[in-house]
């Protein structure tokens, strides 16, 4: 029987999960992890945008851009190195993914999406079942910035064009997540801490106002 909570379907021959949960695990990093959508991430992207507008000249933003370009340079070097040797397939594949992102999206979109994910992790930790699940969601959201990872097909039954999301193999996703985390994760955590500080300040000043009002004579 499948080990996922409340499932009870038969497992695949040697596995711990049924087919459905096996693919959920592969796709989301945990059988119980819900997909983080673009809409889920929107509030964090808005916070980043607001912070950028209030600190337009801060070197924080250019430092992030530089980090992303150095990730891209590293990816180029990895590809040059591995294409002549029998290297790890997943290293090569994740380097190619990085370059695909570089060529098809605005660097700021990659930077902001990664940071928004880290802000979410910091501010709503319960949205993520495990580190592995977070990594998968991070990679899914960043790859979601490009259209090319989704093959399109026409569903005759619904009469709509559907997208088949092509997932990276888990190992490649893990490598890619760690590349993004190392370069840009800290930036997201910094922004999350600033948000928390601002929230506390607002809270304190509301209390001070209420306390003051209660004792006004
Ligand atoms: Zn199951």
Cα(10) to ligand 1 centroid in Å equals: 7
Cα(170) to ligand 1 centroid in Å equals: 19
Mean pLDDT for all residues in the chain: 91
Q: What are the tens digits of pLDDT across the range 147-196?
A: 655 566 666 777 777 666 678 999 999 999 999 999 999 999 999 999 99
163: three-class secondary structure by DSSP: strand
| Paired tokens of 213 | 């009002």
Cα(22) to ligand 1 centroid in Å equals: 7
Cα(6) to ligand 1 centroid in Å equals: 8
What value does the mean pLDDT take over residues 135-151? 83
What's the pLDDT at 163?
A: 64
What's the pLDDT at 165?
A: 60
Q: Domain ranges for the chain, please list them.
A: 1-32, 33-206
Distance CA 26, CA 24 (A): 5
What value does the mean pLDDT take over residues 34-45? 96
Quick check: 86 pLDDT over 90?
A: no
| Paired tokens of 148 | 């090319």
Range of weakest confidence among 9-18, 24-33, 145-154: 145-154
Cα(24) to ligand 1 centroid in Å equals: 9
Cα(88) to ligand 1 centroid in Å equals: 32
62 with 107: CB under 8 angstroms?
no
Cα(134) to ligand 1 centroid in Å equals: 21
Q: According to DSSP H, which parts of 5-155 are helical?
A: 19-28, 38-54, 59-82, 89-104, 107-123, 131-143
Quick check: 77 pLDDT over 90?
A: yes
Quick check: 87 pLDDT over 60?
A: yes
Buried b (16+ CB within 10 A) or exposed e, 191-213: bbeebeeeeeeeeeeeeeeeeee
Cα(40) to ligand 1 centroid in Å equals: 26
Cα(70) to ligand 1 centroid in Å equals: 42
Is 1 or 191 the better-scoring residue by pLDDT? 191
Cα(1) to ligand 1 centroid in Å equals: 8
3-state helix, strand, coil in the chain (%, to 5): 65, 5, 25
Proportion of the chain above pLDDT 70, given as a percent: 93
Cα(32) to ligand 1 centroid in Å equals: 10
What value does the mean pLDDT take over residues 190-210? 94
| Paired tokens of 138 | 């991070």
Proportion of the chain above pLDDT 90, given as a percent: 76
- Place 29 in a pLDDT band, splitting at 50, 70 and 90: very high
115 with 188: CB under 8 angstroms?
yes
- Place 128 in a pLDDT band, splitting at 50, 70 and 90: very high
What's the pLDDT at 156?
A: 73
What's the pLDDT at 8?
A: 87
């Amino acid at each position: 029987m499948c080990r996922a909570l409340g499932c009870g379907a038969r497992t695949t021959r040697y596995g711990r999960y049924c087919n459905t949960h096996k693919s959920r695990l592969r796709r989301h990093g945990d059988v119980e992890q819900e997909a983080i959508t673009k809409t889920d991430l929107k509030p964090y992207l808005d916070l980043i945008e607001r912070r950028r507008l209030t600190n337009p000249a801060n070197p924080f933003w250019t430092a992030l851009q530089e980090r992303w370009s150095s990730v891209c340079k590293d990816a180029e070097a990895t590809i040059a190195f591995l294409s002549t040797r029998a290297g790890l397939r997943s290293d090569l594949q994740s380097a190619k993914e990085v370059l695909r992102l570089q060529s098809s999206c605005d660097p700021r979109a990659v930077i902001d999406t990664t940071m928004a994910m880290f802000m979410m992790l910091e501010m709503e930790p319960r949205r993520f079942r495990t580190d592995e699940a977070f990594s998968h969601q991070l990679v899914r959201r960043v790859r979601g910035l490009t259209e090319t990872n989704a093959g399109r097909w026409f569903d005759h039954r619904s009469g709509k064009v559907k997208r088949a999301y092509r997932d990276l193999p888990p190992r490649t996703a893990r490598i890619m997540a760690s590349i993004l985390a190392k370069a840009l994760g800290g930036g997201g955590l910094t922004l999350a801490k600033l948000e928390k500080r601002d929230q506390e300040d607002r809270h304190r000043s509301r209390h001070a106002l209420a306390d003051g009002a209660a004792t006004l004579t």
